[in-house]
């Protein structure tokens, strides 16, 4: 199914039909497709439910042009997604679920072993293709639903939001589970009012969670309360499962990597199994430790003119680790800075230092950290 190299010759293709309230793609098995799995272009209210897609070339479940809305993508399993060099450029890093309009519902899906990403929210500033228009901006549209999805063993990211998402109302990505991905469990580019809630992230090679930029400035001097900003709230982030040691040769991941912009918030997170180190590949006499927190997403010494090199502020609260009674291995290093090796972390309830010292109680007050422990 799916004819290679021919645009539109997909295994299943709903093409510019408008509202299709009575239509669905349900309980199908699509395997060894040489050209996508299910394509949705210019369609609204379609239901794509309880399908299995296996060995698909190019984006597997493909929301194409950015005008599609109110479609339900639920309970699908997509496994083994291969790169294609005869479709879009993005198909060279394919996604099990490729989404160009956030105003759709994705719930209870599983993305496994893609050459690229599990879920890729590629949200353009205008709609694309035959329905291209500057009057609609998918990157500012509301999120329909993203809940209880999972991704594992993808070559790059479990969930990637790129270039960004800056909706007018708060978007909440909820209950996402992501593990054993070649880079991050979750990465966001330029985000506005985007909330990640109750995540479970484990055994990701670079970081469990990373946000590059919070694009909503907050001017507290003018009375802003910060309600226009995004944050991470609730979840478990594991560095390395003890049963998965062999996959981590030469890798020392972070739990979270904080943005290169001001005043992001991370709260109510449990960190565990950041208890190992590797030989630093750049300094033979030094070790590189896995760490719960890293600074300055995508700041590189080689890009000093184009990336932020300031010490940016991130707020933390409700942080837990080193809970010896839980049977979870400790966090040996809480913070490992990245270039430019400076940041300001405001530990609003002192839970970071309480966890680091293995204290049962949580001191009150405000704690500031500007250097690695």
Q: pLDDT per residue over 104-140, tens digit each?
A: 999 999 999 999 999 999 999 999 887 788 889 999 9
- pLDDT greater than 60 at residue 10: yes
Give the whole-angstrom CA distance, residue 28 versus residue 51.
5
CB-CB neighbours of 49 under 10 Å = 18
What's the pLDDT at 79? 98
Cα four-point dihedral sign 135, 166, 154, 73: negative
Nearest to 207 by CA among 231, 185, 189: 185
CB-CB neighbours of 108 under 10 Å = 16
Q: Is the pTM of this model over 0.85?
A: yes
The confidence band for 305, taking pLDDT boundaries of 50, 70 and 90, is: low
Give the whole-angstrom CA distance, residue 48 versus residue 30.
13
Give the whole-angstrom CA distance, residue 232 versus residue 257.
12
**HSE of 139 in the Cβ direction (CA atoms, 13 Å)?**
19
Determine which helix (DSSP H) or strand (DSSP E) holds 353, and give its type and residue range: helix 351-356
Between the two ends of the chain, the Cα-to-Cα distance in Å is 55
- Average pLDDT (137-153) is 97
Nearest to 276 by CA among 264, 268, 287: 287
Determine which helix (DSSP H) or strand (DSSP E) holds 354, and give its type and residue range: helix 351-356
pLDDT digits (tens, 9 = 90+) for 176-222: 999 999 999 999 999 999 999 999 999 999 999 999 999 986 655 45
Percent of the chain with pLDDT over 70: 86
- Average pLDDT (241-253) is 81
Q: At 359, is the secondary structure helix, strand, or coil?
A: coil
- Average pLDDT (260-288) is 88
pLDDT digits (tens, 9 = 90+) for 26-80: 999 999 999 999 999 999 999 999 999 999 999 999 999 999 999 999 999 999 9
- Average pLDDT (260-282) is 90
pLDDT digits (tens, 9 = 90+) for 214-228: 998 665 545 555 667
- pLDDT greater than 50 at residue 364: no
What's the pLDDT at 373? 37
The confidence band for 328, taking pLDDT boundaries of 50, 70 and 90, is: confident
């Amino acid at each position: 199914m799916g004819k290679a190299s021919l645009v539109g010759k997909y295994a299943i293709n709903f093409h510019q039909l408008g509202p299709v309230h009575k239509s669905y793609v349900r309980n199908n098995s699509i395997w060894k497709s040489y050209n996508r799995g299910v394509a949705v272009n210019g369609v609204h209210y379609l239901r794509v439910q309880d399908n299995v897609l296996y060995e698909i070339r190019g984006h597997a479940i493909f929301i194409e042009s950015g005008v599609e809305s109110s479609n339900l993508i639920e309970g699908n399993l997509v496994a083994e997604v291969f790169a294609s060099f005869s479709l879009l450029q993005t198909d060279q890093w394919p996604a099990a679920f490729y989404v160009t309009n956030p105003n759709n519902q994705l719930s209870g899906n599983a993305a496994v072993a893609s050459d690229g990403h599990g879920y890729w929210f590629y949200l353009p500033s205008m709609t694309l293709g035959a329905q291209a228009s500057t009057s609609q901006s998918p990157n500012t549209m509301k999120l329909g639903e993203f809940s209880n999805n999972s991704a594992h063993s993808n070559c790059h990211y479990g969930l990637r939001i790129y270039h960004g998402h800056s909706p007018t109302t708060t978007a909440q990505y909820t209950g996402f589970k992501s593990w054993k991905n070649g880079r991050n469990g979750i990465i966001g580019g330029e985000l506005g009012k985007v909330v990640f809630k109750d995540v479970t992230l484990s055994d990701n090679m670079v970081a469990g969670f990373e946000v590059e930029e919070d694009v909503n400035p907050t001017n507290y001097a003018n009375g802003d309360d910060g309600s226009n900003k995004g944050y991470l709230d609730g979840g478990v982030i594991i560095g390395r499962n003890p049963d998965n040691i062999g996959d981590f040769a030469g890798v020392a991941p972070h739990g979270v990597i904080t943005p290169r912009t001001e005043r992001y918030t991370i709260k109510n997170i449990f960190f565990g199994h950041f208890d190992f180190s590797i030989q630093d590949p750049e300094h033979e006499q030094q070790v590189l430790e896995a760490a719960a927190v890293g600074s300055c997403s995508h700041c590189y010494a080689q890009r000093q003119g184009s990336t932020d090199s300031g010490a940016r502020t991130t707020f933390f609260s409700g942080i837990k680790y080193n809970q010896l009674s839980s049977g979870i291995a400790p966090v040996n290093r809480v913070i490992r800075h990245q270039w430019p090796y400076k940041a300001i972390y405001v530990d609003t309830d002192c839970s970071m230092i309480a966890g680091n010292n293995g204290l049962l109680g949580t001191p009150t007050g405000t704690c500031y950290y500007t250097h690695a422990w």
